[in-house]
Amino acid sequence: MSREPLKVAVRSIQKTRNAARGALLWGYEQRLAREVTDHGHLPRHLGLILDGNRRFARASGIQREMGHSFGADKAHEVLQWCLELGIPAATIWVLSTDNASRDPAELAHILGLLEKEARNLATDPRIHANRVRVRAIGQHDGFPPQVLAALKDLEEKTAQYDGMRLNIAVGYGGREEIVDAVKRHLHEQQQAGLSLAQAAADLSPEHISAHLYAADIPDPDFIIRTSGEIRLSGFMLWQSVYSEYYFCDVYWPGFRRVDFLRALRDFQGRDRRFGR
């Protein structure tokens, strides 16, 4: 007896089950979206640590560089989710200062993606329709000229916008940011004619906060990290003193809207006491 009819039947059952699972997930996602929207309390500044691109590629059996490409596509999706919910500000951590020691070919691919995505964002209708102001934060001195030009063009084309604030943390490290802030403050005090002893005596947390890369937006009140790693790895160390954290097991390219909504629902259920 031929097994072909049995195989066809099995495939049909599997297809039906997959469709049912998809419908259930869609329904659950819609319910989550209503709950999050109805609650109304959303982060003023959302931090996103985009982790797990390489592990996603390895688990999927694809080239390492493709993991970063899929990760860039996911960042576009998440931007859309933030716009739909009206989140006022977001900082996405794309490349750390520690990543500079990675394989040169991989680093070149990441910087090439950064240039491409910066040019895409500069002409993205969503950016202009929603008046999104985009800024690249971090240390960029060693970046190729074409990458710097693309980032500068993106910043200039959105500099006057008053909608959502989007920070792209690239070549970024939290310790480096604090050091840079202290240097800026000391240089400012020197220009004002103060001695090092006077500047040191007067130094306050407010002085450092005023010289951070994104000093003109609120500190992040909610930070999501993907890939299952339970650490900040230096992300916005100064600003995150009272942030709420959420660690998601899924790799960044596999981060779904349902995962995003779950995280926000979790944030909405927390009692933020700010050390009190």
Length of the chain: 276
Q: For residue 252, what is the DSSP state?
A: G
Q: Are 246 and 268 in contact (CB under 8 A)?
A: no
233 carries a ligand binding annotation? yes
Dist. CA 132–CA 89, nearest whole Å: 9
CA dist., res. 94 & res. 157, Å (int): 21
What are the tokens at 162?
């008053």
Mean pLDDT of 194-209: 96
CB 138 within 8 A of CB 123: no
Which of 18, 99, 167, 219 does the annotation list as catalytic?
A: 99
Answering whether pTM is above 0.75, one says yes
Q: Percentage of residues in the chain with pLDDT exceeding 70?
A: 91
Residue 99 annotated to the active site:
yes
Contact present, 226 and 49 (Cβ < 8 Å): yes
Structural contact between residues 162 and 131, judged by C-beta atoms closer than 8 angstroms: yes
Residue 7 pLDDT > 50: no
Is 96 marked as a binding-site residue?
Answer: yes
What are the tokens at 249?
């097991």
Q: Could you report the per-residue pLDDT of 8-38, keeping only the tens digit for each? A: 544 554 565 555 566 777 889 999 999 999 9
Average pLDDT, integer, range 254-260: 97
Phi, psi angles (nearest 5°) of residue 49: -100, 105
pLDDT at 10: 46
Residue 97 amino acid letter: T
Choose the catalytic residue: 18, 38, 51, 103.
51
| pLDDT tens digits, 129-173 | 999 999 999 999 989 999 999 999 999 999 999 999 999 999 999
pLDDT digits (tens, 9 = 90+) for 96-134: 998 888 889 999 999 999 999 999 999 999 999 999 999
133 is in an annotated binding site: no
